[in-house]
Amino acid sequence: MPDTYRNYINGEWREKGSLGTFENINPADHGDIVGIFPRSGKPEAEAAIAAAKAAYWEWSHMPAVKRADIVKHAGDLLRARKEDLARLMTRKMGKILQETRGDVQEGIDTAYLAAGEGRRMYGDTAPSELPDKFCISFRMPIGVAGIITPWNFPVAIPTWKIFPALVCGNTVVFKPASDTPATATKLVEILAEAGVPKGVVNLVHGGGREVGMAIVEHPDVRVVSFTGSSDVGRVIGEKCGRSLKRLSLELGGKNGQIVMDDANLDLALEGALWGAFGTTGQRCTATSRIIIHEKVYREFTDRLVEMATKLKIGNGLDESVQMGPCINAGQRESVHSYVEIGKNEDRAKMLCGGQFATDGDLKKGTFYKPTVFADCHTKMRIAQEEIFGPVVALIPVKSFDEAIEVINDSAYGLSSSIYTRDVNRAMRAVRDIEAGITYINGPTIGAEVTLPFGGVKDTGNGHREASHTVLDTFTEWKSVYIDYSGKLQKAQIDVE
């Protein structure tokens, strides 16, 4: 019998969902049911929000250092259970163990980084223009935080949001993706064991329309953090805008890797393979465009196709497997529909892949072959739209300037990369590429928690996750003026 999971509301595990239950199935083996989960709706969301609101006063008045100690303890528990969590994650979302271990490690790193902010969270002081007056500013918590996360990083992304939200003094209502609910449950179990008081963190399983929108629209939720598609992000942005609530959006990407004629091709090929087909291309930072100087285009293309066709596809629990499945049948169909679009677009040539992978045990899951399109140009849909699968478009260019023009010809601006031995080109790329992240001689994936994460254009609304910059999502600034002159002083008026 599969395990039965529950919601967590006001410190209690509640099995019942007002809309019934749903199954979570291993995408690498559809005969493996990971668990049965409550299909929740607006009543559960409202109960969780009420619990978070009731817990807010006491939690926000706890010293930040004490809140940080709890988050640090959660990081220690994540470290102790890293392998178990990684194996569960591979079962429920498909990516290989090497990657799921990294996903948990990112959660551990985030816990320790966020915990450190409990002893920093610095404000500003400034000299007053008047005598006997002191000026200071500091950060204040906002209130109930609605946390809505995707399925591709089931530990890393929730921790990016929940841990700093808690350290800042907010309470949390957490809705994970329905494709990856089991790891969310384990994360909340860890937070409860670490000492988070009842009501401070609440978990509600269910769909985006039923639970996610109930969280977004509720007036007692004062800050929302969402990672997902740009289309859904726009809807959330409209709803939050009506009530003027704080909103952080981390959305799509169509990330490009430039390969110049002086690049180390072995290194560039290794980065392209990892960037395009790691997590089966199901990353917002995946390398979905490779922009290649014409002098090395043919060699690079031939070698990449050879490497892609040799990737071992299968169940990620097998340590020898290099690429797992698409998350579900719908996503695989979406990927294939883009491949069909690419096959019919002007000039593009599909050099490998383009099919479901169904050999042997692969027929049990939703596997897709690594797919490479050559001779693409920027006006093609496969070079413009986010596919979120193991498909990459190769675009030849004649110069560095053309490469910059091509990489910037995108509605998105999350991650970018350039391979070159020329430091001058590298520095110009850093300056001129329109993206929140740029790698020099590395793939478009591999961000670290110590630097801000996020993008420009349709990739988000300007907020950044990770680093100390995430505090700007989960805190409000308060400015305080202390006048000890014993008389009324009028700023800007009493100054000569």
Active site residues: 250, 284
Cα distance between residue 49 and residue 396, in whole Å: 52
Cα distance between residue 202 and residue 55, in whole Å: 11
Q: Are 164 and 190 in contact (CB under 8 A)?
A: no
Residue 27: closest CA among 465, 324, 302, 347: 324
The 10 Å Cβ neighbour count of residue 144 is: 28
* Measured CA angle at 494 (ends 490, 496), to 5 deg: 155
Structure-block tokens of residue 344: 């019919």
Cα distance between residue 291 and residue 147, in whole Å: 36
DSSP 3-state of 446: coil
The 10 Å CB-count burial string (b at 16+, else e) for 86-113 is bebbbbbbbbbbebbbbbbbbbbbbbbb
486 burial level (CB within 10 Å; 0-12, 13-18, 19+):
exposed
CB-facing half-sphere around the CA of 149: CA atoms within 13 A: 28
* Placement of tokens 């528990």 in the chain: 77
Cα distance between residue 46 and residue 379, in whole Å: 45
Q: How far is CA 340 from the centre of its chain?
A: 28
Cα distance between residue 244 and residue 237, in whole Å: 10
